[in-house]
């Protein structure tokens, strides 16, 4: 790695960013807050509009009305990015619906442009080595092609030995010392519906399964109920404090993983200092590229791989929409399809979509006759199971009629009669 002197303050970003640039931002816990906050604050000083490629945003940096010089885009509208997108009507046109594991190849081949990359690096305990810290993703590939790479050097970010070699391969143009703590994403308290969903999910996950699950109240609730399980494995795209707690409880041992036996694996990290402390200098915790973590060959080799994901709505045949909630665009492809589809390739694996049966206000069913705007993120043959607080719909090898019956049975009772009528109208059934 070529690392310039570490600065105490950033130079003006207008001196580094040109009008029309594609600016790629580090995601999840690896967002370089010192740099991204400066980008938002100095947006009016830029020579013209730039395209900002966002990923899983766990901070509030972009949760505001953005200056017109910042045109938000990315592989979806994730987490804290939603308000920034909403501040610019029509910004959905800047979203790239590329499957997550293909993003690295797209940047590497130049199909997705990267002019300026903003990322975070972590420091080893002896202060002599650098790693990628909390993410080993498409941002790294983008940095290899960018004109300008700006790195926040964060002493509190966990040093991850598995990413040291990838960090060493980068050219850094500007290095700045972190001006504050790293991104924090604490566990979330589940509501009653989420607790009931979690109980159903935990009941279908067997001992010795390898689990994939993300962040949020529902994943946290599921992970909390898996503590009595034995010899689980962890292979995910994004993990936080609840997954770390499950490792520390002894429920996750990774002993029966046929691939990466004894190792926990993820692509990115969130959580708080608890997760960061566990991962810091921990050779048993691997941060791997999505070309590995999300690849069909990798997932097929895992024993009893159980992928637990969510969606905004699921229709009565099993098609899932994770991109439009009926009122606005949010979410995206992400790694949803990679994990859910490939769980079916794993011996004893299951692709699970778990969601509350209604919107938060209870006025709309999320089990629907047809998805909003016909939006389909997962095909009807992709997920094995759909789970709500009302139960489990096992869709494996089920006919259209059986699927509809099972899906309506896990809808909120207030909407079941209407769903029956809508299904009969769509199917032509008597």
> 272 and 164 share a domain?
no
Map residue 63 onto helix, strand or coil. coil
> 397 and 327 share a domain?
yes
Q: Is residue 187 part of a domain?
A: no
> 204 and 344 share a domain?
yes
Q: Is residue 331 part of a domain?
A: yes
> 237 and 139 share a domain?
no
> 141 and 270 share a domain?
no
Domain range enclosing 21: 6-177
> 118 and 259 share a domain?
no
Q: What is the rounded distance in angstroms from the CA atom of residue 400 to the CA atom of residue 44?
A: 54
Helix (H) or strand (E) holding 247: helix 241-249
> 68 and 169 share a domain?
yes
Q: pLDDT value at position 295?
A: 98
Q: pLDDT value at position 429?
A: 62
> 214 and 158 share a domain?
no
> 200 and 172 share a domain?
no
Q: What's the token pair of residue 317?
A: 């045949």
Q: Is residue 184 part of a domain?
A: no
Q: Give 392's strand partners.
A: 387
pLDDT tens by residue, the chain, 430 residues: 778 999 999 999 999 999 999 999 999 999 999 999 999 999 999 999 999 999 999 999 998 889 999 999 999 988 888 888 888 877 788 899 999 999 999 999 999 999 999 999 999 988 889 999 999 999 999 999 999 999 999 999 999 999 999 999 999 999 999 999 999 999 999 999 999 999 999 999 999 999 999 999 999 999 999 999 999 999 999 999 999 999 999 999 999 999 999 999 999 999 999 999 999 999 999 999 999 999 999 999 999 999 999 999 999 999 999 998 877 788 889 999 999 999 999 999 999 999 999 999 999 999 999 998 888 999 999 999 999 999 999 999 999 999 999 999 999 999 999 999 999 998 886 4
Q: Is residue 251 part of a domain?
A: yes
Helices 400-409/413-427 angle, 10° precision: 160
In CATH, what number is assigned to the domain containing residue 285? 3.40.1080.20
Q: Is residue 423 part of a domain?
A: yes
> 135 and 201 share a domain?
no
Residue in 311, 288, 292, 290 with CA at minimum distance from that of residue 382: 311
Give me the number of domains the chain comprises. Answer: 2
The answer to whether 104 touches 143, Cβ cutoff 8 Å, is no
> 295 and 398 share a domain?
yes
295 Cβ contact list (under 8 Å, min separation 6)? 101, 338
Q: Is residue 182 part of a domain?
A: no
> 42 and 145 share a domain?
yes
């Amino acid at each position: 790695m070529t690392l310039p002197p570490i600065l105490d303050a950033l130079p003006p970003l207008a001196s580094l960013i040109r009008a029309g640039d594609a600016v790629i931002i580090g995601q999840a816990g690896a967002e370089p807050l010192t740099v991204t906050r400066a980008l938002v604050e100095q947006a009016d000083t830029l020579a013209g509009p730039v395209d900002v490629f966002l990923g899983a945003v766990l901070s509030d940096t972009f949760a505001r009305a953005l200056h017109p010089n910042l045109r938000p885009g990315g592989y979806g509208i994730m987490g804290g990015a939603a308000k920034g997108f909403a501040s610019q009507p029509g910004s959905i046109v800047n979203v790239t619906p590329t499957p997550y594991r293909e993003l690295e190849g797209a940047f590497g081949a130049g199909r997705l442009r990267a002019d300026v990359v903003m990322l975070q690096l972590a420091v080893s305990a002896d202060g002599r080595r650098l790693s990628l810290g909390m993410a080993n993703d498409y941002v790294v590939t983008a940095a290899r092609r960018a004109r300008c790479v700006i790195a926040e050097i964060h002493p509190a970010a966990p040093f991850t030995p598995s990413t040291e070699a990838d960090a060493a391969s980068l050219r850094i143009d500007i290095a700045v010392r972190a001006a504050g703590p790293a991104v924090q994403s604490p566990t979330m308290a589940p509501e009653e519906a989420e607790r009931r969903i979690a109980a159903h999910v935990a009941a279908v996950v067997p001992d010795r399964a390898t689990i994939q699950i993300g962040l949020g109240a529902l994943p946290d609730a599921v992970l909390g109920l898996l503590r009595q399980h034995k010899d689980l494995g962890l292979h995910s795209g994004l993990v936080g404090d609840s997954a770390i707690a499950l490792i520390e409880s002894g429920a996750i041992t990774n002993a029966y993983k046929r691939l990466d036996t004894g190792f926990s694996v993820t692509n990115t990290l969130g959580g708080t200092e608890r997760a960061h402390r566990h991962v810091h200098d921990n050779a048993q915790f691997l941060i791997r590229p999505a070309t590995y973590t999300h690849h069909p060959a990798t997932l097929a080799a895992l024993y009893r791989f159980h992928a637990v994901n969510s969606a905004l709505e699921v229709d009565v045949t099993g098609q899932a929409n994770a991109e439009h909630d009926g009122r606005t665009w949010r979410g995206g492809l992400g790694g949803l399809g990679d994990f859910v589809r490939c769980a079916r390739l794993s011996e004893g694996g299951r692709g699970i979509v778990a969601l509350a049966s209604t919107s938060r206000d209870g006025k709309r069913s999320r089990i629907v006759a047809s998805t909003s705007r016909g939006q389909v993120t997962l095909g009807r043959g992709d997920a094995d199971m759909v789970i709500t607080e009302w139960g489990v719909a096992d869709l494996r090898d089920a006919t259209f009629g059986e699927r509809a019956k099972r899906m309506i049975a896990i809808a909120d009772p207030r909407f079941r009669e209407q769903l029956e009528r809508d299904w009969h109208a769509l199917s032509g059934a008597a």
